[in-house]
Structure 1
Amino acid sequence: MTGYLLRRLLLGVVQVFLVVVGVFLLTEALPGDAAVTLAGDNPDPAVIASLREQLGLDRPAWQRFGEWLVSAVHGDLGTSLTGPRGVAEIIGSAAGPTLVLALVALALLVPLATGLGMLAAHREGGRLDRLITSTTLGLYAAPEFAMAILLVTVFAVQLGWFPPTAVGTSPLSPGLLVLPVVVLLLRPICSLSRLVRAGMIEAQRSPYVQHARRLGLSPARVRFAHALPNAAAPAVQQLARTADWLIGGVIVVEAIFVVPGLGTALLEAVSARDLPVLQGLALVFATTTVLVNLGADVAARVLSPTAEAHR
């Protein structure tokens, strides 16, 4: 296990570096830069040239990237090109709403998806199984933006039960969290519950579960102590992808509900060609992806030692 962890961590460092390089090259390839954005709608070439010099954008790309990389290794992500705020400060302030949404969604996702999957697998092909399967398939096919707009129209605009956006209210208020969390839960619940269902059906047919039944163990103990841990192994890896997706900032959901999270910060940085913020966010997202997936693979090995830890 130690060797496996070291190999994955080294691979993760390479992956994070490649992501940061890719984001830098793609941003450099975009038309315009932060100087053009700051110059406004009627840019004067002299003003743009002066801004480029002030922001350091007139230097070669490799030099700017090298300086940023050295600073990042020492914990300094730089300063935003469009304002006096540091990149770490921008990411830190935006991370709060995103983390709250992600943690609340994950806390509800695990029991709901596991329960639905076990219910569907209890009697394979029965009415409850068909109902849960058809409902989850229908919900999974619905686009997030469509579900978000529908929920806002019905429960925020028409019924007035919840605020439609975070404008004028705290982005962490309980009332505002309800609709975004529901939207974030719909598709992950569908995918995770189907994985748990498939894993439970396979586990219940396995020799070790059949042997546990012959020993006279109670059905509940067989399901929870013997079948569920092995059925949960692939679901744990899917849960890691979901956690990474949530922590990385769900851009569509944050945009619709005007939540000032990491997704919103990413959109603003792209529109402003704010390269230091983009690189800082890429570093955070890539590192989160590597660590979360590594943790999921380790958990999958512990739950089911015979399962492959890699995807």
Structure 2
Amino acid sequence: MILARYAGTRLMLGLVQVAGVLIVVFLVASVLPGDAAVVIASDDADPARIAQLRDTLGLNRPLVVQLGDWLSGLLRGDLGMSSISGRPVTEMLSAALAPTLTLAVLALVVLIPLALLLGVAAAVGRGGRIDRAISGLTVALYAAPEFALAVVLVAVFAVGLGLFAPTAIGSSGPLLTQPELWLLPVVVLAIRPVCSLSRLVRSSMITTLDSEYIRHTLRLGVPPRRVVWRHALPGSLTPAVQHLARVADWLLGGVIVVEAVFALGGLGQVLVSAVSSRDLPLLMGLVALFALITVTVNTLADIIAFRLNPTAGERL
């Protein structure tokens, strides 16, 4: 009952957060100079034509009415039509979502086991050569921004050694079936999260290994390896799970940067196009998608962390 009540509270809070983000972004985007009518009429910037386009696109209506219509459509699952292309926003997002999700999921599949392995190895060998080597490497790699790592990897492994394609220009077909296109982007996306997550696992594991519970387990004769993986690690995962939610948020922004460097068609390209063309329906569709993913991931992480923490019920 406590877990269900906590999950319900987090879900309601998440919905309020999504609504707040949508309203703020809509108002900010609406007051920016220029609009879709100006972009469409750029070759013929006649005031009468711009006014006609604004009337056709519904941009001359009060902001409250525009926002109300868009939110009512959102509740029905209708994100509207792109002001520039005239295509359904849902269709455009669906087409661009596949490569973005592919990169994000592949990065998570790589970074989670690697971060756990490095964090546990550093914690078990704390103060030793392995710990110092892992700590030094993770700190150094974490300081490098994604675009710089991407440029270096492309220069060395794609241009220099010719092992991978430098960009996805001219390619076709699902991204997942072309490892020469996604391997370098996934490495770029996974490096920094691996560094931060492994450091957090190391810190939490050291605290757990020093606890009286673990000492008593060892005194009972339980093999050290079993103690580490079956007893110490599960008790150290609560902060890691919550941090993993922040990593998932970061991946959304990181994917946009990586998509631009490697010319991968995805939500990053759609976002740049929506902002530059003042395509408000498309921009709002992207914001709704990002907000929903972010809130969902963080809510699930909080619920899992609540479940893993044996003293969580005392706070309610």
Q: Normalised by the size of structure 1, how large is the TM-score?
A: 0.96
Change (3 A) 1:93 1:78: same
Equivalent pairs: percent with the same residue? 55
Change (3 A) 1:305 1:135: same
Amino acid at match of 1:270: V
Matched-pair contact (CA < 8 Å) for 2:158–2:166: yes
In 1, Cα distance between equivalents of 2:47 and 2:165: 45
Other-structure match for 2:268: 263
**Which of residues 293, 296, 299 is equivalent to 1:291?**
296
Amino acid at match of 1:202: T
Superposition deviation, residue 163 in structure 1:
1.0
Alignment RMSD (CA, Å): 1.7
In 2, Cα distance between equivalents of 1:14 and 1:53: 32
- Partner of 2:251: helix, strand, or coil? helix
Other-structure match for 2:218: 213
1:101-132 CA-partner distances (Å, limit 9, x unpaired): 01111111111000011111112111111111
Superposition deviation, residue 280 in structure 1:
1.1
Matched-pair contact (CA < 8 Å) for 2:103–2:255: no
- 2:87 is the counterpart of 1:82: no
In 2, Cα distance between equivalents of 1:16 and 1:182: 31
- 2:140 is the counterpart of 1:148: no
Superposition deviation, residue 301 in structure 1:
2.3
Return 5+ residue gaps in structure 2 as ranges: none
- Partner of 1:157: helix, strand, or coil? helix
Matched-pair contact (CA < 8 Å) for 1:98–1:246: no
**Which of residues 264, 284, 289 is equivalent to 1:279?**
284
1:227-258 CA-partner distances (Å, limit 9, x unpaired): 10111111111111212332566221111111
Return 5+ residue gaps in structure 1 as ranges: none
1:33-87 CA-partner distances (Å, limit 9, x unpaired): 0111111255222221121111111111111111111111111110100112111
Change (3 A) 1:221 1:309: farther
Superposition deviation, residue 302 in structure 1:
2.5
1:119-149 CA-partner distances (Å, limit 9, x unpaired): 1111211111111101100100001111111
In 2, Cα distance between equivalents of 1:101 and 1:309: 39
Amino acid at match of 2:183: V
Matched-pair contact (CA < 8 Å) for 2:189–2:254: no
- 2:184 is the counterpart of 1:179: yes
Amino acid at match of 2:230: A
In 1, Cα distance between equivalents of 2:113 and 2:146: 22
In 2, Cα distance between equivalents of 1:11 and 1:301: 16
Amino acid at match of 2:34: G
Superposition deviation, residue 181 in structure 1:
0.3
Higher relative contact order (CA 8 A, sep 6+): 2
In 1, Cα distance between equivalents of 2:14 and 2:234: 27
Superposition deviation, residue 156 in structure 1:
1.3
Other-structure match for 1:223: 228
Matched-pair contact (CA < 8 Å) for 1:300–1:309: no
In 2, Cα distance between equivalents of 1:154 and 1:135: 19
Other-structure match for 1:70: 72
Amino acid at match of 1:290: V
In 2, Cα distance between equivalents of 1:150 and 1:30: 36
The more displaced of 276-285 and 163-172 is 163-172
**Which of residues 129, 132, 137 is equivalent to 2:131?**
129
**Which of residues 89, 105, 108 is equivalent to 1:106?**
108
